[in-house]
Structure formats: C-alpha cells, structure tokens
Amino acid sequence: MIIKSYIAEKNLNQIDKFNSVLFYGENQGLKKDFKEKLRSIHKECEILNLFQDEIIKNKNLIINELNNKSLFNKKKIIFIDQASEKIFSIVEEICKALDEDKIFIFCGILDKKSKLRNTFEKDINSAIIACYQDNELTIKNLISKELSKLEGLSNQAVNLIATNVNLDRDKLINEISKIRSYFEGKKINLDDLEILLNIKTNDNFNSLKDEALKGNKLKTNELLTDTIFDDNNNIFYLSILSQRLLKLKEINNLLKNNNNIEAILTKLKPPVFWKDKANLIEQSKKWTKIKLELAIEKIFEAEKQLKSSSVNKKELIIKNLLINLCLEANSF
C-alpha cells in the first residue's frame, strides 16, 4: 500500500500498523529521520540492524532471528539497510514469516519496473513510502514544525536556517538539535542564530570555494585574506569542496549526452539551490573529467595531511589546497 511521506511524517502510526514497510528514494536524510523515529517508538523492543550483503551471504539469518524468540518474549524490530532488488525473494519469504515482529527496509532509487516496489505497492498488508528529495518548501515546513515550540521563530529565522542547510535534510536535523538546545527557555535572536549556525564563516568559505573553482585569482586571494578558518571545521571544509567537485563530475558526465546545462541542473538530485546555479554553470566550463579526478585526489591527500599535522599547519593546508584548485581551474 502506498503512503505519502508527508502523511507518514505527520502521523507515524499510519505506517507502524503494518508489519513490513519499504522506504525507497534518494532522500537519505528523510529515510534516516524515519529510522530514528521508528527506533524511538520501539525502544522497548529487541532491535536488529542488518545490511543487504550479510543477508545475501546467509539467507537464513533473518528467518532464524524471527524463529528464535527473545528470553523476555520481546517483539523484534528488524531494520535492513542498503537494500535493493537483489533481496526480493528473501524479503518475500520473510514477510510471510512475520507474526508480531516488524521489518523496515531502506532502499535507494527503485524504478517502476522494480519487483520489490510493485509487491509492496500492491500488498494491502505492507506499506511503501517514496522518499523524494526535499525542496525549499518542504525544508521550511520541517523547520517550522520542529521548532514551533520555540519563542520568536520568525519567517526571517526560518529563511536563514533553510538557506544555511541548502536543501540538505540530514544537515538540517543536526542544526535543529543545536537550535533547540541553545534557545531552550529563551527567545530566538537572529544575531545569536547566525553565530550558532556559523553562518558568516560558512558563507565566507562557500564564496571562497566558488571563486577558487571558477579560477578567479584576484577574488580568491582577497577571500583567503578575509576568511577566518576554524580548526574545528577543517574536515567540514574538505567535505564542502569534495561535494562540489563530485557535483561537477556528475554534470560533466551528463554533458556528454546533453549540452544544455540549464536543463541538466534542473534534473540534479538533490536539487540545485537557485543561488548556486550561476556558479555551477561557470565552474563546469573550467573542469574536465581528468582535472576533477586529480582535484578529488588532492582532497584525499589534504585530509591525510590534516590528520598528521600540527595545529599551526592545518590552516595552511586548506589555503594551499584552495590556491592549487584555483590555478588548476585555469590550466589547459
């Protein structure tokens, strides 16, 4: 049976009444959110976490677990992660063996021809939930819902938080937790919120990243001087750079079959934030497949250096990496 994700989010009982539920789609943050909430409401049960690969290696693993009753006769809740079409026949067998126990399966993208997807859609005793990527509206609605009990949650505050997470639900969940803790018992203040979310530093680094990857030497040099680097965020900086290079690599691959970059950007998952489109278009003109692969290797190398260097050298590693990327963007 098909259940819309927004309905399940509003009322988890809509899915908990089923013994077998399949979550699929590209929104990792939404799937993670469902998983944590299901764990929370079943904390008195015996919870088992399994991955597809270990189930394929031992097909009787889950059946044995279901047959082996708990010492305290607890209901068993089984989570299967990184699942795909490969375990269709095993899942089919497991669902028939379920009694009071429950199984929650988490998959990536499943197309309309998927046996797994079709079976769960047609079975009235099972539920299936598509976890599609968030857009600006769903992110803002989630912020409003999760922070509704805090005093002073203005539209301006919601917009500030939404812009900072850039449609990344996983990041948003972490930020929401920080905001709740910090503003518990006091009114939300925009200045404090900016400091808490490190928005100025993040904005500065994002601008620096964009100018470096566009090969803008003058602007990169200015921002290198103006940006304050936080030693606690070094791996975060590398993550931002890595995500952008992987995004450019994806665009580069898609351009082989379609040279309309505007059309390509509208189809990317997660969706490209509107403010970022111009940067991506300009950067995609600078970076070839070979250059991108070399740049990604440099990030791995920088991460190794960070883990083995003294505090004084860490900022220099990040700065040198950005300078090298800026020079590479202009190379032929």
Query: 165-194 pLDDT, tens per residue?
Result: 877 888 888 889 989 999 988 899 888 888
For position 249, what pLDDT does the model report?
A: 92
Per-residue pLDDT band for 239 (boundaries 50, 70, 90) equals: confident
Ordered domains of the chain (ranges, CATH): 5-130 (3.40.50.300), 136-197 (1.10.8), 200-329 (1.20.272.10)
Percentage above 70 pLDDT, the chain: 96
Q: How far apart are CA 309 and CA 316, in angstroms?
A: 10
Average pLDDT for 130-145: 89
Q: How far apart are CA 115 and CA 24, in angstroms?
A: 13
Average pLDDT for 47-69: 83
Concatenate the DSSP letters of all residues of 56-112 into one string: HH-TTHHHHHHHS--TT-PPEEEEEEEE-GGGHHHHHHHHHH-SS-EEEEEES---T
User: pLDDT tens, 258-296?
Assistant: 888 888 888 787 677 777 889 999 999 999 999 999 999
pLDDT at 66 over 80: no
- The DSSP symbol for 233 reads G
Q: How far is CA 108 from CA 54, 190, 207, in A?
A: 17, 37, 32
- With residue 199 as reference, give the H or E element that holds it: helix 199-213
For position 69, what pLDDT does the model report?
A: 67
- β-pair type (102-107, 20-24): parallel
Single pTM value for the model: 0.63
